Amino acid sequence: NNVFLSDIDALKEIVRYNLEKRQDAVGAANKIIEKNIRELLQWRATLQFKPTIISLRSKLESIRKHELKKYRHKSSEAEMEAIERVTRSMMNKILALPMLKIQDCSCDNGDSRLLINAIQDIFDLHAEEAESYHEQE
């Protein structure tokens, strides 16, 4: 009942078909591996920006809080909470695009180091400051 009759040519065809399917699977697996390696390398390259990003965000937050102190005695607690939310939201929105651009520039051709240096110069961030924020995490 469970007996099959196959000739050598039919078996060769089955083997060939199965081999093709395996080769297709290897190709698909290699594409997945390559994609994940690219993503890992890109993520790893963004790590060099982390101290500068932390330092920039901290500096802007410090400026924001300093400016808010000027109005604390002139505003009610509810008004100050609203102002806090609005200014924090504004700061996050202002920083969002530059932060994405910084992370997109994660390249190994020296451009990333130039960008880091430019940001540190523009915002008067010092390398020691950036490193100290990184160590606080």
Residue 123 pLDDT > 70: yes
pLDDT confidence band for 106 (50 / 70 / 90): low
Task: Provide CB contacts within 8 A for 129, sequence distance 6+.
Answer: 55
pTM score: 0.59
Report yes or no on 30 lying in a domain: yes
Report yes or no on 2 lying in a domain: no
> For the chain, how many structural domains are there in total?
1
User: Per residue in 30-46, pLDDT tens?
Assistant: 999 999 998 888 788 77
Alpha-carbon gap, residue 104 to 110, rounded angstroms: 14
Alpha-carbon gap, residue 11 to 7, rounded angstroms: 6
Report yes or no on 60 lying in a domain: yes
Structure confidence at residue 137 (pLDDT): 42
Domain that holds residue 88: 8-136
Residue 132 pLDDT > 70: no
Alpha-carbon gap, residue 37 to 24, rounded angstroms: 20
Report yes or no on 115 lying in a domain: yes
Report yes or no on 1 lying in a domain: no
Structure confidence at residue 136 (pLDDT): 47
Alpha-carbon gap, residue 91 to 68, rounded angstroms: 13
